[in-house]
Amino acid sequence: MQLKGAKKIGRKFQNPIPTDEAGFDKMPAIIMEYIKNKAESTPLKPLGPFSTDTAIYQTPPASGLRITWMGHSSLLIEIDGKRFLTDPVWSQRASFVQWAGPKRFFKAPLALNDLPKLDGIIISHDHYDHFDEATIRALAPKNIPFYTSLGVGQYLKKWGVAANLITEMDWGDTAQVGTDLTITTTPTRHFSGRGIVNRNETLWSAFVIKGHTHNIFFGADSGWFNGFADIGEAYGPFDLTMLEIGAYGKNWPDIHMGPLSAANAHIALKGKQMMPIHWGLFNLALHAWYEPIEILLELATKENITLFAPEPGKPTEVTGADYKSGWWEKYKS
């Protein structure tokens, strides 16, 4: 089964199904919610510091699959002899300026200069909490290939990445990495834009990363849609699904999933094990910062979902066994 490419109307990419993107018409209601909000959306206790033992990268993972969660959607993925970094954000704030906007709950566990050699960097879409200019500028001189959604390459070039290192991909496109690994883009239900006037002029995507032994799904940002079943049918089953569980809200249900829809997406994708991402680093919604993981733990028990929830910065092998580090427990107020 081949997934269809993204559609455009004029300069604007379209979602796979009609989607409320929580535009300006929702702003009054959202602002009022933020004013009234009493949840612990920012931790009252400082998180971390977390650190990464880089010596571990000198030894390949015995299972062939190891993940280091740097926070939010930034992952160092080691799969079948290759290494990829997803949606790297190392700056203090996920914002167009560094004096305002969502601030990190903890510093990056590993300095950019201490990253092991990478085979590629995956950029799902151009939002500030997934695509950070300062981080890209720091990585650009390392001559690492980038795999990203249509239109995002313009920013990469502007920030110093050589054009020959950029692979822009439509939904359903496949890129070959080496002789035995492929990266395939799939639809998500989201939106894009780094300013007021350019919404949806670049594409947003999820990624299937398939090696000689393992097959994994990096979901990036998405609201629920029945397309997850199509993706599971076309490219599954998956040894690991990495799915967003945070930043959900009643005023934007179409563009972020939350724990329940993420659990349903995992099942639809034919996932064997699920890693929760997109939580625990930035205040992007009204729920308590730890609420997504606590709800997911309950759902996983109910739905018999095998979880993979490592501590930030700790390289952890994916073996198929249920793993819940519980790192968040001691920071709850």
Domain boundaries, the chain: 45-331
Q: Is residue 149 classed as helix, strand or coil in its secondary structure?
A: strand
**Mean of the per-residue pLDDT values of the chain:** 96
- Close Cβ partners of 66 (under 8 Å, ≥ 6 residues apart): 77, 78, 315, 316, 317, 318
Position 31 scores a pLDDT of: 72
Q: Indicate the burial class of 1 (C-beta count within 10 angstroms; 0-12, 13-18, 19 or more).
A: exposed
Give the model confidence (pLDDT) of 95-111 as tens digits. 999 999 999 999 999 99
Q: How confident is the model at residue 87 (pLDDT cuts 50, 70, 90)?
A: very high
**Integer angstrom CA distances of residue 105 from 90, 115, 172, 221, 236:** 12, 21, 35, 20, 34
- The answer to whether the beta carbons of residues 216 and 77 sit under 8 Å apart is yes
Task: Average the pLDDT over 17-36 and give the result.
Answer: 77
Contacts of 158 (CB under 8 A, 6+ apart): none
Residues 38-54: pLDDT tens digits? 899 999 999 999 999 99
27, pLDDT greater than 80: no
Average pLDDT over residues 306-324: 98
CB 145 within 8 A of CB 120: yes
pTM for this prediction: 0.96
State yes or no: pLDDT of 1 exceeds 70.
Answer: no
Lowest mean pLDDT among 25-29, 116-120, 155-159, 171-175: 25-29
What is the reported pLDDT for 2? 62
Count the Cβ atoms, other than its own, within 10 Å of residue 93. Answer: 18
DSSP SS3 for 126: coil
Which pLDDT belongs to residue 211? 98
Fold of 45-331: Metallo-beta-lactamase; Chain A (3.60.15)
Is residue 50 classed as helix, strand or coil in its secondary structure? coil
**Token digits for 41?**
């959306």
**How far from the centroid of its chain's Cα atoms is residue 180's Cα?**
24
Element (H, E) at 260: helix 258-268
Q: What is the pLDDT of residues 205-240, one digit of tens each?
A: 999 999 999 999 999 999 999 999 999 999 999 999
Cβ neighbours of 23 (radius 10 Å): 10
Q: How confident is the model at residue 175 (pLDDT cuts 50, 70, 90)?
A: very high
User: What is the reported pLDDT for 26?
Assistant: 67
Q: Among 148-157, 195-204, 220-229, which stretch is predicted with the lowest mean pLDDT?
A: 195-204
